[in-house]
Amino acid sequence: MGRGEADAAVGADDPALPLEKRLTALARAYLAFSIDNAELLELMYARKHEPDASEQLAAAVDRTVGSLERVIADAQERGEIIAGDPQYLTLVTGATLQGIASFAAGGMLAPEAALDGTEEFVHLLLHGLKPR
Protein backbone atom coordinates (compact mmCIF):
# COMPACT_ATOMS: atom_id res chain seq x y z
CA MET A 1 0.00 0.00 0.00
CA GLY A 2 1.90 2.94 -1.24
CA ARG A 3 1.35 6.53 -0.33
CA GLY A 4 -1.09 6.90 -3.24
CA GLU A 5 -3.37 4.15 -1.92
CA ALA A 6 -3.38 5.50 1.59
CA ASP A 7 -3.97 9.01 0.30
CA ALA A 8 -6.82 7.78 -1.93
CA ALA A 9 -8.46 6.05 1.02
CA VAL A 10 -8.04 9.08 3.26
CA GLY A 11 -9.25 11.37 0.46
CA ALA A 12 -12.34 9.21 -0.03
CA ASP A 13 -13.33 9.65 3.61
CA ASP A 14 -15.96 12.31 4.30
CA PRO A 15 -16.81 12.44 8.03
CA ALA A 16 -20.04 14.31 7.25
CA LEU A 17 -21.52 11.29 5.45
CA PRO A 18 -23.66 8.71 7.23
CA LEU A 19 -21.73 5.54 8.01
CA GLU A 20 -22.95 3.36 5.15
CA LYS A 21 -22.10 5.94 2.48
CA ARG A 22 -18.84 6.84 4.22
CA LEU A 23 -17.69 3.22 4.47
CA THR A 24 -18.79 2.52 0.88
CA ALA A 25 -16.66 5.40 -0.45
CA LEU A 26 -13.65 4.25 1.57
CA ALA A 27 -14.15 0.63 0.47
CA ARG A 28 -14.53 1.58 -3.19
CA ALA A 29 -11.27 3.61 -3.11
CA TYR A 30 -9.45 0.72 -1.46
CA LEU A 31 -10.84 -1.85 -3.90
CA ALA A 32 -10.00 0.30 -6.93
CA PHE A 33 -6.41 0.62 -5.74
CA SER A 34 -6.21 -3.09 -4.90
CA ILE A 35 -7.45 -4.15 -8.32
CA ASP A 36 -5.01 -1.83 -10.10
CA ASN A 37 -2.08 -2.84 -7.87
CA ALA A 38 -2.60 -6.54 -7.14
CA GLU A 39 1.09 -7.38 -6.78
CA LEU A 40 1.74 -4.43 -4.49
CA LEU A 41 -1.25 -5.40 -2.37
CA GLU A 42 0.11 -8.92 -1.89
CA LEU A 43 3.56 -7.58 -1.03
CA MET A 44 2.15 -5.07 1.44
CA TYR A 45 0.42 -7.61 3.60
CA ALA A 46 2.91 -10.41 3.17
CA ARG A 47 5.84 -8.29 4.29
CA LYS A 48 4.34 -5.76 6.71
CA HIS A 49 5.50 -7.59 9.84
CA GLU A 50 8.85 -8.86 8.59
CA PRO A 51 11.83 -7.28 10.33
CA ASP A 52 13.25 -5.91 7.08
CA ALA A 53 9.98 -4.45 5.81
CA SER A 54 10.39 -0.78 5.09
CA GLU A 55 9.07 1.72 7.59
CA GLN A 56 7.33 3.50 4.73
CA LEU A 57 5.40 0.36 3.77
CA ALA A 58 4.36 -0.32 7.37
CA ALA A 59 3.35 3.32 7.81
CA ALA A 60 1.20 3.22 4.65
CA VAL A 61 -0.64 0.12 5.89
CA ASP A 62 -1.15 1.76 9.27
CA ARG A 63 -2.47 4.96 7.62
CA THR A 64 -5.14 3.03 5.76
CA VAL A 65 -6.09 0.94 8.80
CA GLY A 66 -6.14 4.18 10.80
CA SER A 67 -8.68 5.66 8.38
CA LEU A 68 -10.90 2.63 8.80
CA GLU A 69 -10.50 2.67 12.58
CA ARG A 70 -11.47 6.36 12.62
CA VAL A 71 -14.63 5.60 10.61
CA ILE A 72 -15.54 2.83 13.07
CA ALA A 73 -14.86 4.99 16.15
CA ASP A 74 -16.89 7.89 14.71
CA ALA A 75 -19.78 5.53 13.93
CA GLN A 76 -19.72 4.24 17.50
CA GLU A 77 -19.81 7.80 18.87
CA ARG A 78 -22.84 8.55 16.67
CA GLY A 79 -24.61 5.35 17.71
CA GLU A 80 -24.56 4.04 14.11
CA ILE A 81 -22.96 0.71 15.08
CA ILE A 82 -22.64 -1.44 18.18
CA ALA A 83 -20.44 -0.56 21.12
CA GLY A 84 -17.33 -2.66 21.55
CA ASP A 85 -13.63 -2.62 20.99
CA PRO A 86 -13.06 -0.37 17.94
CA GLN A 87 -9.86 -2.23 17.08
CA TYR A 88 -11.72 -5.54 16.92
CA LEU A 89 -14.55 -4.04 14.83
CA THR A 90 -11.90 -2.54 12.53
CA LEU A 91 -10.27 -5.97 12.21
CA VAL A 92 -13.57 -7.58 11.18
CA THR A 93 -14.37 -4.77 8.74
CA GLY A 94 -10.84 -4.72 7.32
CA ALA A 95 -10.77 -8.51 6.92
CA THR A 96 -13.99 -8.35 4.92
CA LEU A 97 -12.65 -5.57 2.73
CA GLN A 98 -9.30 -7.29 2.26
CA GLY A 99 -11.06 -10.55 1.38
CA ILE A 100 -13.04 -8.89 -1.42
CA ALA A 101 -9.86 -7.11 -2.60
CA SER A 102 -7.90 -10.38 -2.62
CA PHE A 103 -10.63 -12.19 -4.53
CA ALA A 104 -10.72 -9.41 -7.14
CA ALA A 105 -6.93 -9.14 -7.39
CA GLY A 106 -6.60 -12.94 -7.65
CA GLY A 107 -9.22 -13.34 -10.37
CA MET A 108 -11.79 -15.19 -8.23
CA LEU A 109 -14.13 -12.21 -8.56
CA ALA A 110 -14.31 -9.98 -11.62
CA PRO A 111 -12.93 -6.52 -10.78
CA GLU A 112 -16.08 -4.88 -12.16
CA ALA A 113 -18.23 -7.10 -9.94
CA ALA A 114 -16.17 -6.14 -6.88
CA LEU A 115 -16.48 -2.43 -7.60
CA ASP A 116 -20.13 -2.61 -8.66
CA GLY A 117 -20.96 -4.69 -5.58
CA THR A 118 -19.26 -2.42 -3.04
CA GLU A 119 -22.47 -0.80 -1.89
CA GLU A 120 -24.17 -4.19 -1.42
CA PHE A 121 -21.32 -5.83 0.47
CA VAL A 122 -20.99 -2.82 2.80
CA HIS A 123 -24.74 -3.02 3.38
CA LEU A 124 -24.48 -6.73 4.23
CA LEU A 125 -21.52 -6.08 6.50
CA LEU A 126 -23.41 -3.40 8.42
CA HIS A 127 -26.81 -5.12 8.55
CA GLY A 128 -25.91 -8.80 8.65
CA LEU A 129 -27.32 -11.78 6.83
CA LYS A 130 -30.28 -12.52 9.08
CA PRO A 131 -33.69 -11.76 7.64
CA ARG A 132 -35.47 -8.82 9.17
pLDDT single digits (tens) 47-88: 555 665 556 555 665 666 678 889 999 999 999 999 999 999
Does pLDDT of 104 surpass 60?
yes
H-run or E-run covering 113 = helix 111-116
Q: Percentage helix, strand, coil, to 5, in the chain?
A: 75, 0, 25
Q: Tell me the mean pLDDT in the region 8-23.
A: 80
Q: Could you tell me the residue ranges of all domains in the chain? A: 3-127
Does pLDDT of 23 surpass 70?
yes
0.85 cut: is pTM over it? no
pLDDT mean across residues, the chain: 81
What DSSP character marks residue 83?
-
Q: Tell me the mean pLDDT in the region 25-47.
A: 78
CATH number 3.40.50.2000 is the correct assignment for the domain at 3-127: no
